[in-house]
A and B are shown apart, each in its own frame.
Chain A
């Protein structure tokens, strides 16, 4: 009984996930479009796909960037997945690498606005850090490429044909190549972003490891004296007998806490205890 309930719950969750997926939303939007404008499924698919591509362009226009995790990017990819399936998309990518199918395309130079948008994007996403100029230029060019290729694709008069998008593209492989190139450009930006993220991680990791090594060293040298200090201070009778030592230890601890950054963590509690002790002694 419990197993049946679990299975039913899993089914329910799966349905919810599928209904909420970008692929499911694409199909739903196609249905709605078909109903609203009284057109064929093929025409509706073409129209909704064009809308998805335009949304990607709008984001680039507005923000200078289409982020790897953005809703618009996922919706665009989902539309491609529904319309063509992963095998065909792989062929589109291959077509984009074939000079016979891929037409010439030039983004032109990166403008100040595009460069600044990219710098700002990295700053916001990587704690104020920005990659070198060459990465900024490549990243900005990629965005321009996505925008420009979509522009060329969407403006192609062959799309006005009554035929399905699938047939139009299969009959005109240069259009498939454009879409394949858009997909590769989206991937490349993700890779550029990942590369910069790993560079930052490398620097951070180095700093963290250095701190850990120095902290370990402080622990090795000072753990035993501090432990002993706690034992001594816990008995007020001891204080008189070890006055000389405690004054020297206090000086050492205070000096190290101030001068050697990495000792602060281990010596700070001891310096507090000693400060209290010295205050009591000299009041």
Chain B
């Protein structure tokens, strides 16, 4: 393979800049040969293994964060639902106007809760992604 093409493969690879520099230096000093490919392969394998490990760890963290977020939001929802049910049970069965207001309040609460969940999850995943790279 031409040196230019190899340099291109190194520079476009997903290796760290440090590893890229090391490969370029090796190529410049010793040229293309079995040992160069061994080193390149070794770096690539190490990087893939590292990514696999980091990826699984970050995914676990995300799962844990989602679990906690779900717990928090499900509790908020359950509390609001209970309050709504209690208010409804105390309302005169014929007082549909009051019932309507209670249902509207709860519906609005759920709409806001959905928006808040989206915002919080985006924040959590962005933080995790940033910390993992």
Contacts and interface: CB of A to CB of B under 8 A. Distances in A.
A217 B59 contact: yes
A201 B77 CA distance: 13
B94 to A, nearest CB: 6
A213 B103 contact: no
Contact of A245 (B41, B95, B111, B113): B41
A91 interface: no
Chain A contact residues: helix, strand, loop or mixed? helix
Nearest to B52: A252
B96 A185 contact: yes
Interface string A90-123: 0001001100001001000000000000000000
A184 B77 contact: no
A228 B12 CA distance: 7
Given A205-B118, A220-B133, A242-B44, A188 B110 contact: no
Contacts, number: 139
A242 B1 CA distance: 12
Interface of B: 1, 5, 9, 12-14, 37-38, 40-41, 44-45, 47-49, 51-52, 54-56, 58-59, 62, 66, 70, 73, 77, 85, 88, 93-97, 99-100, 103-104, 106-107, 110-111, 113-114, 117-118, 121-122, 124-125, 128-129, 132-133
Interface of A: 93, 96-97, 102, 105, 134, 138, 141-142, 181, 184-185, 187-188, 191-192, 194-195, 198-199, 201-202, 205-206, 209-210, 213-214, 216-218, 220-222, 224-225, 227-228, 231-232, 235, 237-238, 241-245, 248-249, 252, 256, 260, 262
Minimum-distance CB pairs A-B, first 8 = A224-B14, A184-B96, A213-B125, A245-B44, A191-B103, A244-B41, A221-B55, A241-B37
